[in-house]
Structures are given as structure tokens and as C-alpha cells.
Amino acid sequence: MNLNTEAIGTLLGSAGRILGEVNNILGQVSTDTSSVMNVTDLGLECKIPIPGLGKEDMKIVLTGDGKLLKIFNKADDTLLKAYRVAEGFDVKKIKVSALNGLLTVFIPRKQQEKETEIIVG
């Protein structure tokens, strides 16, 4: 197969653009600020990167039914993150902290009611 130098240059240019795009995509993925969620026996812990924001810069809202947790930027009231809270977690005992650009939300599991044995008399 004979390829002239113009065709080779065009192919190399195309390959360079493709590699540039791949590098750009990988860079975007590696700097993704998505949250990390861990479910343990104690409850649900969610760590959310909040670069440049302190605890005074955020508003956290729990819907009336306790099934949706929303995190807003107070300055412009933009929604940063929203999470559905599954059954089995006690939203009345939620704990939130912010330190070094990381917001930590902990929702403990609901305590299982203990069975009571009833003696027939």
C-alpha cells in the first residue's frame, strides 16, 4: 500500500486530535467532584466535595416526608446535590459537618424494635 506524505500527515493529525480529546475526557473524569456514599451497619455516610464553600455557605433541606435531602449554595440558592433517603434510615437523627472542603452527612439506621415475648396465663 502506497501512502504519500500528505496522507500520512493527515492521519497523524487526526490521531493527535483524537488523543487530545481522550486526554481531555480523562482529565474531566479525574477531577470529577462526585460524592462518595458508604452504607454500613450503623447508617449511611455521604462525603461530598464542596471546594470553596464553608458550612456557613450551605443550606441543607430535608423534605417534609424525610425522603429527599437537598444541599444548596446559600449565595445564589443553586442546588448542589440531592439525595433520596431509603427506608430504614432515621432522618430525625441526621448529622452534618463540613471540614476542609468536604461535607459529611451521616444518617443512622432506624433501630429495630425488639420483640417482646408475651406469656399466656
pLDDT in tens, 39-74: 888 998 889 888 888 888 889 898 888 788 888 889
Q: Which three cell numbers stand for residue 117?
A: 415475648
Q: What is the pLDDT of residue 20?
A: 45
Q: What is the mean pLDDT of residues 2-12?
A: 57
d(CA 114, CA 52): 45
CB 58 within 8 A of CB 50: yes
Q: What is the pLDDT of residue 2?
A: 55
Q: Which residue has the higher pLDDT, 65 or 120?
A: 120
Instruction: Out of 1-5, 54-58, 93-97, pick the least confident.
Output: 1-5
Q: Which three cell numbers stand for residue 77?
A: 440558592
* Residue 27 phi, psi dihedral angles, 5° rounding: -65, -40
